[in-house]
């Protein structure tokens, strides 16, 4: 049951919105989901996030908080009785934050570029960047997980949420580009982790279906083409 003082403004296909949903589910926090319409911005969104004017926006006791990873950290601190998301050790916490920033700033933009690229040749450079990044994240998983099931150890943590939120879009990109990016032969530990993450109770009913994301990707690519200079 939703808590009346906890609201989330978002769109279901957004991996950044999904991050907040995963965190709330892990913490067993009920919330009201206020869905934004594709291509428009509600008055509440513009009032709550006047700087970036984008989702997600998390509203707790009428106070808005923006940016997905900041929201996840806030949820972890406020609902401290639930499973911890951020590592307790300062070094481990810094490492998790480093990789989360790498995923957002470097890895995901390359994945997005694959979907927008024209022709096979245009996909080569970003595809190489994504594959290289997955190899780096395989090594990061071995280090962060310490032999356990998730980056966060025995349970889903901050870095699992940061990276796992993009698994739906990774699958959609593989389908669009007719390529296997998350390859068991090259990154077996990440493949196992991805299966565990996607089947987790906090995740499986939230993660968007691949077919829906492919459809959305095609719409976004058409809009990108239309806005591109001739």
The structural domains of the chain, ordered by start, are 6-79 (3.40.30.10), 90-221 (1.20.1050.10)
Average pLDDT over residues 104-114: 98
pLDDT of 82: 86
Q: 141 has which bridge partners?
A: none
Token code pair at residue 121: 């040749």
Tokens 């470097």 map to which residue? 106
For residues 170 and 107, is the Cβ–Cβ distance under 8 A? no
129 pLDDT higher than 60: yes
pLDDT of 214: 97
63 pLDDT higher than 60: yes
pTM: 0.95
pLDDT of 225: 84
1 pLDDT higher than 50: no
Token code pair at residue 63: 């106070």
% of the chain residues with pLDDT over 90: 91
Q: At what angle do helices 210-227 and 167-177 cross, to 10 degrees?
A: 70
Distances in Å between the Cα of 96 and the Cα atoms of 26, 158, 184, 204, 225 are 18, 7, 23, 23, 36
For residues 144 and 191, is the Cβ–Cβ distance under 8 A? no
pLDDT of 223: 87
Find all residues with CB under 8 Å of 124, minimum gap 6, and list them: none
Find all residues with CB under 8 Å of 188, minimum gap 6, and list them: none
pLDDT of 207: 98
How many other CB atoms sit within 10 Å of the CB of residue 69? 20
Give the pLDDT confidence of 139-167 residue by residue, as tens digits.
Answer: 999 999 999 999 999 999 999 999 999 99
Q: How many residues does the chain have?
A: 230
């Amino acid at each position: 049951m939703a808590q009346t003082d906890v609201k989330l403004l978002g769109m279901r296909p957004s991996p950044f919105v999904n991050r907040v949903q995963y965190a709330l589910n892990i913490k067993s926090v009920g919330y009201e989901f206020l869905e934004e319409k594709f291509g428009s911005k509600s008055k509440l969104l513009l009032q709550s996030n006047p700087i970036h004017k984008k989702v997600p926006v998390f509203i707790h006791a009428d106070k808005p908080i923006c940016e997905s990873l900041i929201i996840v950290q806030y949820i972890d601190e406020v609902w401290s009785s639930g499973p911890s998301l951020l590592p307790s050790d300062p070094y481990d916490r810094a490492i998790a934050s480093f990789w989360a920033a790498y995923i957002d700033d470097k890895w995901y933009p390359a994945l997005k570029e694959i979907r927008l690229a024209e022709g096979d040749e245009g996909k080569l450079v970003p595809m190489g960047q994504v594959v290289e990044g997955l190899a780096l994240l395989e090594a990061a998983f071995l280090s962060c997980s310490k032999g356990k099931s998730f980056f966060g150890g025995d349970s889903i943590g901050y870095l699992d949420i940061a990276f796992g939120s993009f698994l739906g879009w990774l699958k959609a990109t593989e389908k669009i580009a007719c390529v296997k990016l998350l390859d068991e032969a090259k990154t077996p530990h990440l493949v196992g982790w991805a299966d565990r993450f996607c089947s987790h109770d906090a995740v499986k009913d939230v993660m968007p279906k691949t077919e829906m994301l492919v459809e959305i990707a095609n719409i976004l690519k058409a809009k990108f083409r239309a806005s591109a200079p001739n």
